[in-house]
Structure 1
Amino acid sequence: QIYIDRCVPFQIMSNQLNFPQVGDRCFEEGMYDAAKLLYNNVSNFARLASTLVHLGEYQAAVDSARKANSTRTWKEVCFACVAGEEFRLAQICGLHIVIHADELEELISDYQDRGYYEELIALLEAALGLERAHMGMFTELAILYSKFKPQKMREHLELFWSRVNIPKVLRAAEQSHLWAELVFLYDKYEEYDNAVLTMMSHPTDAWKEVQFKDIIAKVANVELYYKSLSFYLDYKPLLTNDLLTILSPRLDHSRAVTYFTKRNQLKLVKPYLRSVQSHNNKGVNEALNNLLTEEEDYQGLRASIDAYGNFDTIVLAQRLEKHELIEFRRIAAYLYKGNNRWRQSVELCKKDKLYKDAMLYAAESKDAELAETLLQWFLEEGRKECFAACLFASYDLLHPNVVLELAWRHNIMDFAMPYFIQVMREYLTKVSPAVNTASTGCVRNGTLPLLLNRTP
């Protein structure tokens, strides 16, 4: 048994002494100076480092830990340096610890328990450039940023998003209400539905136009399309058509029109309606036709009707026939004609004195009674020139005896004479095959030929 004075350092010269055993006994008894000498003598750097931290000789402890090169020793010295607020030395030790993923959590807990967040962040930032840097380091630094330095988190994620544990960082970002960073991570993690929902729930912090339009096109749940339309109408109504351009390929246009109708926003999305009208969707056609009617754009309405016929023509015609503008009532007549409602069509034309349209529709109807009724109406209105034009517009429908009677009763044989000359020419050609069909109908006494035009 060797007794050692606790206060005065000594030198051991005997070769018979068990240095490790005595050193451990001194260490346990708190005789750190003596233990230091003993451990140093046998080059037990791990135990020497433990002894030095008890003596407050942190720099020497770090040097001994470097020689020992043991994770356990590095941890002991690091924690002692943190407790002694020797953060520079603690960082030197910490750089040898963080490269081991299973030791990282304990190191972080020690720093956090003591409240040294800034120093912990500095340690992890310094460790990112190490050759053996691993995912845990990048992940834990991101989590620390989310809690204590949110302004630096976005830059960190943009640089190292592929090296972090995204689900873990997602939870941290959500707990810290870092919505923009949350959307960024959802996008990289291909959770596009959650990214869109987050942007719509927190537009002030998370919504960006270009990013939203890029992500919304990738969502799996099409219902989010309609939620996004509602969001845009409330938050950015003037950008709604830009969004619709992105959504159009997968959008149910009938449902979209119904939604905008309920919101009374059809005028706002008129560009969208025009862009998808090529699909000839009934809902789109009717919505756009109604808009054009409200805007009194009769030329646009006529072009829409001619190009895209998938809509309820009768409903539109009934609506237009009561319109205060004549051009819209004219379109109503045109629509009735397209549905073979010839009498309604002609009656509308007669009401608005659209003589040319009335003659054309009567001729297209192939209804002799309708054409003769129109002839009689022209005479009642005193429109002798229209009577003559109608004779040739409906030439194939009219009965010559009816025309003759009307002309004789109203004393307008001169207006009917070209018609009768044509009729006689056709009858003579059928009766006498010898008649020269190439004849121009000239009268033999030298009069000029009468050229009959059967179009009004």
Structure 2
Amino acid sequence: MPNVANLPNVGDRLYDEALYEAAKIIFAFISNWAKLASTLVKLNQFQGAVDAARKANSAKTWKEVCFACVDAEEFRLAQICGLNIIVQAGHLRLVKPYMVAVQSNNVSAVNEALNEIYVEEEDYDRLRESIDLHDNFDQIGLAQKIEKHELLEMRRVAAYIYKKAGRWKQSIALSKKDNLYKDAMETASQSGDRELAEELLVYFIEQGKKECFASCLFVCYDLVRPDVALELAWMNNMIDFAFPYLLQNMYAQLLPLALPAPPMPGMGGPGMGGGFAAPPPPPPMGGMGMGMGMGMPPMPQFGMPPMGSY
């Protein structure tokens, strides 16, 4: 029958006869990832070999690709392979100092391995530092993993990851759930989303958090519309808590009106013919005994000079 063949045997024969390009096609078609990784190593396609080894998820395949990458001086790829070998052996913590030293390369496997260690150790400070400095990892996957962690600070890191990833609603929802209202306000402000900010105001009203309502008005000052703030405050008997925000808003609107208006073009400028120059000072008076033109010295300041003795 046509189109019928024992593809695994065909792939093995092609591999044994060094027909690696053809063998690669066969092994990829039948999803034999271990054989595909070996074939790609023979073709010096080391990145593809690492990807195939990841799908094979076999310690033997990882070792084969790792040694081949070292021989080819592909040390970054060899590092990825080595980490997976250690993970499978359960000795990840033994190489933690090494991973910390090389994390500046921002390799995904290193970042994820270290983040996993920090989660297990509940070292939320180190975890947050790692997230800030090295972003090459599955951010959403990590957030989903720790958003239900029993430790509050770990859940707070999950909300922080969602915020960094632009998932504002999920971040605010986590912060509200843990009563981290300041974090929720800051997230709403950074989102630049007016609807999110006003929804948070409504949430504080529903929870009876009057002080949080007042704080949110200032943290999200640029997002909240004055008419919405006034309406919410009036309908829920919170005018006193909205009054500082309303005063600030009124001041911001009236300040431009209090400033002097700039001169209009062509009015008051030199050489434009439209201004009124100040009149020159009057000439000195030339009356009896007072003028300088009568041979008299000028009168000193502050009255007459002292009279001489007789």
TM-score, length-scaled by structure 1: 0.41
1:269 aligned counterpart, secondary structure: helix
Counterpart of 2:252 in structure 1 is: 426
Root-mean-square deviation (Å): 2.4
Amino acid at match of 1:223: F
1:382 aligned counterpart, secondary structure: coil
Deviation at 1:429, TM superposition (A): 2.5
Deviation at 1:291, TM superposition (A): 0.8
**What is the aligned counterpart of 1:223 among 49, 60, 67?**
67
Counterpart of 2:211 in structure 1 is: 385
Give yes or no for the alignment of 1:290 onto 2:116.
yes
Deviation at 1:222, TM superposition (A): 7.2
Deviation at 1:417, TM superposition (A): 0.6
**What is the aligned counterpart of 2:198 among 372, 376, 379?**
372
Are the counterparts in 1 of residues 66 and 78 from structure 2 also a CA contact under 8 Å?
no
Provide the C-alpha distance between the structure 2 equivalents of 1:360 and 1:254, rounded to a whole number of angstroms.
37
Cα offsets for 1:105-162 (capped at 9, x unmatched): xxxxxxxxxxxxxxxxxxxxxxxxxxxxxxxxxxxxxxxxxxxxxxxxxxxxxxxxxx
Cα offsets for 1:384-442 (capped at 9, x unmatched): 1111111110000001111111111121111111100111111113455449xxxxxxx
Provide the C-alpha distance between the structure 2 equivalents of 1:364 and 1:273, rounded to a whole number of angstroms.
33
Deviation at 1:312, TM superposition (A): 1.0
Cα offsets for 1:86-115 (capped at 9, x unmatched): xxxxxxxxxxxxxxxxxxxxxxxxxxxxxx
Provide the C-alpha distance between the structure 2 equivalents of 1:250 and 1:372, rounded to a whole number of angstroms.
48
Q: 1:63-74 alignment to 2 at 5 Å?
A: none
Q: 1:9-24 alignment to 2 at 5 Å?
A: none
Percent of aligned positions that are identical: 52
Give yes or no for the alignment of 1:330 onto 2:174.
no
Provide the C-alpha distance between the structure 2 equivalents of 1:412 and 1:381, rounded to a whole number of angstroms.
13
**What is the aligned counterpart of 1:395 among 221, 225, 244?**
221
Counterpart of 1:349 in structure 2 is: 175
Deviation at 1:338, TM superposition (A): 0.6
TM-score, length-scaled by structure 2: 0.59
Counterpart of 1:319 in structure 2 is: 145
Cα offsets for 1:6-35 (capped at 9, x unmatched): xxxxxxxxxxxxxxxxxxxxxxxxxxxxxx
Give yes or no for the alignment of 1:252 onto 2:78.
yes
Deviation at 1:330, TM superposition (A): 0.6
Counterpart of 1:408 in structure 2 is: 234
Unaligned runs of 5+ in 2: 1-64, 262-310
**What is the aligned counterpart of 1:303 among 110, 129, 141?**
129
**What is the aligned counterpart of 2:89 among 215, 239, 263?**
263
Change (3 A) 1:428 1:263: same
Provide the C-alpha distance between the structure 2 equivalents of 1:280 and 1:270, rounded to a whole number of angstroms.
15
Counterpart of 2:265 in structure 1 is: none
1:267 aligned counterpart, secondary structure: helix
Change (3 A) 1:222 1:262: closer
Unaligned runs of 5+ in 1: 1-220, 227-246, 436-456
Change (3 A) 1:312 1:416: same
Change (3 A) 1:422 1:284: same
Change (3 A) 1:345 1:250: closer
Decide which structure has greater helix share. Answer: 1
Provide the C-alpha distance between the structure 2 equivalents of 1:259 and 1:383, rounded to a whole number of angstroms.
52
Amino acid at match of 1:301: L
Give yes or no for the alignment of 1:417 onto 2:243.
yes
- Structure of larger gyration radius: 1
Are the counterparts in 1 of residues 186 and 219 from structure 2 also a CA contact under 8 Å?
yes
Q: 1:147-186 alignment to 2 at 5 Å?
A: none
Change (3 A) 1:256 1:396: same
Give yes or no for the alignment of 1:340 onto 2:166.
yes
Provide the C-alpha distance between the structure 2 equivalents of 1:277 and 1:363, rounded to a whole number of angstroms.
32
Q: 1:74-85 alignment to 2 at 5 Å?
A: none
Change (3 A) 1:250 1:328: closer
